[in-house]
C-alpha cells in the first residue's frame, strides 16, 4: 500500500472530523459461516483470516489510528483442542505471512492480552513482528489474543496494588488515568466505534473499561463475509451520530 492508495474520509462522503480514531471489532460468525456452507469450522477461520487482511488494509488506507481485533478470548480455550490447535497455527502463519505487509505499510503491531498460555511459537512470531514494526508511525493494529476484559482488570488492579505496596502510588491518588495506564491498552485512545458481526448484540467481555462511550454497530454478516463495504457502512453510521458524552 503506497501513499497513492490512501483514501480520505471525504471519499466516504463524511468529514474528516467525523472519522473514528479507534475502531474495535468483535469478529463473530466463522463457525456458523462454515456450517451453512457445509464446511468444517476450521474453513470458517481460514476465510475469516482473509477478511482480516482486507479490513486491516482498508482501515490503514482511511487513516484510522488504531484498529483492535478480538481474535481469541480467554474463554476460547474451552473449545475442542483440535480447533484451538488449528487457531494457534493460523495465528502463527498470519504473523509470518503478513509481517512484510505490516512493516512495509507503516503499521505497528500491538498485542492486547495475556502472554501466559500462548504457545511458544506464536509468542516468537508475534514478538518478531512487534519488534520489526515498533518504529512504524502509521496505524496501530492491536490483536486481542488470549484476551478477556475481566482478566485485564484483574491484572490492572494487581499492578496498581503493587504500586501502592511499593510506595509508588498513594491510594488517594488513584483515578481514571491510573487505571487506564495499568490496562493492556495503556497509551491508546479508547475505541470510538465498536463493530460486532453475525448480528449478535452483546459485548462478550471485550474492552469493558475502554468502550464506555463507544458507538456500537451490529452487522448481520458473518465475519468471513464482512467486506470493505460493510466497514464503510459502519463508519458512515458512526459519523451520522451525535456523540454527547452525557451532555445535552
**Could you confirm whether 28 is annotated as catalytic?**
yes
Looking up cell 474528516 gives: 16
Phi, psi dihedral angles at 67 (to 5 degrees): -125, 120
Helices (H) and strands (E) in the chain — how many of each?
Answer: 8, 6
Catalytic residue among 74, 76, 136, 205: 76
CA distance linking residue 208 with residue 119, whole number of Å: 26
Catalytic residue among 28, 105, 146, 192: 28
| Diameter of the chain measured on Cα atoms | 59
Contacts of 172 (CB under 8 A, 6+ apart): none
Pick from 104, 68, 102, 72: nearest CA to 88: 72
Is 166 exposed, middle or buried, given 0-12, 13-18 or 19+ CB atoms closer than 10 A? exposed
**Could you confirm whether 76 is annotated as catalytic?**
yes
Catalytic residues: 28, 76
Amino acid at each position: 500500500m503506497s501513499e497513492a492508495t490512501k483514501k480520505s474520509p471525504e471519499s466516504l462522503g463524511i468529514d474528516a472530523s467525523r472519522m473514528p480514531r479507534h475502531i474495535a471489532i468483535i469478529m463473530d460468525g466463522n463457525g456458523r459461516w462454515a456450517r451453512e456452507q457445509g464446511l468444517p469450522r476450521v474453513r470458517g477461520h481460514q476465510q475469516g483470516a482473509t477478511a482480516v487482511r482486507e479490513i486491516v488494509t482498508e482501515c490503514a488506507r482511511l487513516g484510522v489510528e488504531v484498529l483492535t481485533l478480538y481474535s481469541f478470548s480467554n474463554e476460547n480455550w474451552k473449545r475442542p483442542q483440535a480447533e484451538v490447535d488449528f487457531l494457534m497455527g493460523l495465528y502463527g502463519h498470519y504473523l509470518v505471512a503478513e509481517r512484510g505487509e505490516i512493516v512495509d505499510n507503516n503499521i505497528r503491531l500491538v498485542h492486547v492480552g495475556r502472554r501466559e498460555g500462548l504457545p511458544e511459537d506464536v509468542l516468537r512470531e508475534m514478538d518478531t513482528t512487534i519488534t520489526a514494526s515498533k518504529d512504524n508511525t502509521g496505524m496501530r493494529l492491536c490483536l486481542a489474543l488470549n484476551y478477556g476484559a475481566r482478566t485485564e482488570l484483574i491484572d490492572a488492579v494487581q499492578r496498581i496494588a503493587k504500586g501502592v505496596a511499593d510506595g509508588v502510588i498513594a491510594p488517594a491518588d488513584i483515578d481514571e488515568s491510573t487505571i487506564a495506564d495499568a490496562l493492556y491498552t495503556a497509551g491508546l485512545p479508547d475505541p470510538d466505534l465498536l463493530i460486532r458481526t453475525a448480528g449478535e448484540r452483546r459485548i462478550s467481555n471485550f474492552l469493558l473499561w475502554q468502550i464506555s462511550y463507544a458507538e456500537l454497530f451490529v452487522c448481520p454478516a458473518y465475519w468471513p463475509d464482512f467486506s470493505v463495504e460493510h466497514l464503510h457502512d459502519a463508519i458512515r453510521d458512526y459519523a451520522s451520530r451525535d456523540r454527547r458524552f452525557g451532555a445535552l
